[in-house]
């Protein structure tokens, strides 16, 4: 890796069980670029090549509400990946009243809190990144008299306020947060281990982590040649019916698995 020149390769292998896992796209960016900014461009590029997947397996850094909604709307892709958990203190405090426990009536533009109190205002706003938001305020009189106040708000004298994304985004994020707690999600998401396996193979065989050249275009070419080499290797292994490597289980995990 050249000092001061850091790059990242984005790769999307096909993961169907009966086919060779081939790398279908290379996206090389400067390393500081946020992962989630690349999901949409990668999907656009795959659409142009008629190689869109039905399900797009992504790690947490590549998934947010906008990605989930846009993938379904623009490309009919189901995003399979976890989103960040609710960062609000209420979601991480036993007994805390997080936004997931409020009922939102989108048509009436009203929210109902777990104590049955209706909101008094519902106002469109924007967050500091320019994203559309809705700020929902509950009546101060009801909140000040509420027995659950300590679990709901830290405002000394004010009322509970909720800030939520527009309906499609809010529902997508809530549904994903709930689904990612389930065993069914964890089982399905295991398939993504193949992506990490691709990186591992590329590092071991082709020294992917080291950029041999200076300049994004040349490093992209290095990544492209790496992907071609891996695809050839994978296609040959598939033709020869070489079994795929399994994800390694650490000694500690094996030991834990033996405990009653």
| Interaction site with ligand SF4 (CB under 6 A) | 97, 113-115, 117, 138, 142-143, 146, 148-149, 152-153, 159-160
Taking Cα atoms as reference points, which of 237, 152, 160 lies closest to residue 201?
237
Q: Of 35 and 148, which has the nearer Cβ to ligand SF4?
A: 148
Q: Of 107 and 147, which has the nearer Cβ to ligand SF4?
A: 147
Q: Tell me the C-alpha to C-alpha distance, in Å, between residue 247 and each of 5, 29, 80, 95, 190.
A: 31, 28, 19, 38, 10
Q: Of 151 and 201, which has the nearer Cβ to ligand SF4?
A: 151
Q: Of 25 and 160, which has the nearer Cβ to ligand SF4?
A: 160
Closest contact distance (angstroms) between CB of 253 and ligand SF4 is 42
- The structure tokens listed for 127 are 């967050």
Spatial contact of 14 and 21, defined as CB atoms under 8 Å apart: yes
Q: Of 66 and 148, which has the nearer Cβ to ligand SF4?
A: 148
Q: Would you list the DSSP string of 22-80?
A: -EEEEEEEETTS-GGGTHHHHHHHHHHTT---SEEE--GGG--HHHHHHHHHHH-PEEE
Closest contact distance (angstroms) between CB of 91 and ligand SF4 is 14
Closest contact distance (angstroms) between CB of 159 and ligand SF4 is 6
Residues pairing with 164 in the sheet: 134
Cα distance between residue 153 and residue 144, in whole Å: 10
Closest contact distance (angstroms) between CB of 106 and ligand SF4 is 18
Closest contact distance (angstroms) between CB of 161 and ligand SF4 is 9
């Amino acid at each position: 890796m050249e000092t001061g020149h850091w790059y990242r390769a984005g790769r999307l292998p096909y993961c169907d069980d009966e086919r060779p896992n081939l790398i279908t796209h290379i996206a090389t960016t400067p390393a500081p670029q946020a992962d989630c900014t690349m999901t949409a461009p990668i999907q656009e590029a795959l659409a142009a090549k008629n190689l869109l997947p039905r399900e797009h397996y992504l790690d947490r850094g590549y998934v947010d509400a906008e990605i989930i909604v846009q993938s379904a709307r623009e490309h009919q892709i189901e995003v399979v990946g976890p989103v960040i958990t609710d960062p609000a203190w209420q979601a991480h405090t036993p007994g805390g009243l997080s936004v997931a426990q409020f009922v939102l009536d989108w048509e009436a533009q009203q929210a109902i809190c777990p104590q049955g109190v209706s909101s008094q205002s519902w106002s469109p706003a924007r967050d500091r990144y320019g994203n559309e938001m809705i700020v929902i305020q509950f009546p101060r009189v009801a909140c000040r008299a509420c027995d659950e106040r300590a679990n709901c708000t830290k405002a000394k004298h004010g009322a509970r306020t909720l800030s939520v994304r527009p309906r499609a985004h809010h529902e997508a994020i809530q549904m994903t947060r709930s689904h990612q707690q389930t065993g069914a999600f964890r089982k399905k998401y295991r398939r993504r281990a193949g992506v990490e396996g691709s990186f591992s193979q590329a590092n071991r065989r082709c020294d992917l982590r080291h950029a041999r050249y200076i300049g994004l275009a040349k490093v992209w070419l290095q990544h492209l040649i790496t992907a071609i080499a891996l695809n050839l290797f994978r296609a040959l292994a598939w033709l020869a019916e070489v079994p795929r490597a399994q994800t390694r289980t650490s000694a500690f995990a094996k030991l834990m698995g033996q405990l009653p």
